[in-house]
Amino acid sequence: MQLVIGSDHAGFNLKQHLVPWLEKQGHKVLDLGPSTPASVDYPDFAAAVARAVANGSAEQGILVCGSGIGVAIAANKIAGIRAAQCYDLISARLSRQHNDANIITLGERLVTPTVAEEILSVWLTTAFEGGRHSQRITKIHALEAPDAAANS
């Protein structure tokens, strides 16, 4: 699978750990940075990863920051993105089954590299269930319409 990954400085070490691990699992990984642990602004990297997923350059994306929260908020501003912060196997499974999440966000301060690998293993192998969840995804995408705020 073609994946794209990015982080900020607080998620840099976990990102660096995950790239070779994902490649060893047989995935193609495009690392959008940063390339050093120097302080950076997470919205820049979250947007780059989200745009790569939204435009089809990658099938799914992975974002890492200290908590996983900031990058999730930023990524979800890009149309077509359903970024989910996952911190255990259940949240990883449900984010794919029920929400068809196309970006996972992880917090380096919340999960160990081993737990992150387990979470990603579940997330990358879990399929969207469709069915009743499909209409909900359609409604989420309708919120992205330019006039959605005016109609609420």
In a 10 Å sphere around its CB, with 0-12 CB exposed, 13-18 middle and 19+ buried, how is residue 92 labelled? buried
From residue 100, alpha-carbon distances to 23, 35, 59, 130 in Å are 23, 29, 12, 8
Q: Are 66 and 46 in contact (CB under 8 A)?
A: no
pLDDT, tens digit, 9 for 90 and up, residues 110-126: 999 999 999 999 999 99
The answer for residues whose C-beta is within 8 angstroms of residue 124's C-beta and 6 or more apart is 1, 25, 27, 60
- Taken as a whole, the chain contains a residue count of 152
pLDDT, tens digit, 9 for 90 and up, residues 34-88: 999 999 999 999 999 999 999 999 999 999 999 999 999 999 999 999 999 999 9
- In DSSP terms, 2 is beta-bridged to 28
Helix extents (H) in 1-152: 12-24, 42-54, 69-75, 89-97, 113-125, 132-142
- In DSSP terms, 6 is beta-bridged to 63
pLDDT, tens digit, 9 for 90 and up, residues 83-107: 999 999 999 999 999 999 999 999 9
4 three-state secondary structure:
strand
- Domains plus CATH for the chain? 2-142 (3.40.1400.10)
**Hey, which residues are catalytic here?**
65, 98
Query: Has this prediction a pTM greater than 0.85?
Result: yes
Instruction: Report the alpha-carbon distance of residue 124 to residue 146 in Å, rounded.
Output: 31
- The two tokens of residue 151 are 């109609």
Instruction: Report the alpha-carbon distance of residue 9 to residue 37 in Å, rounded.
Output: 5
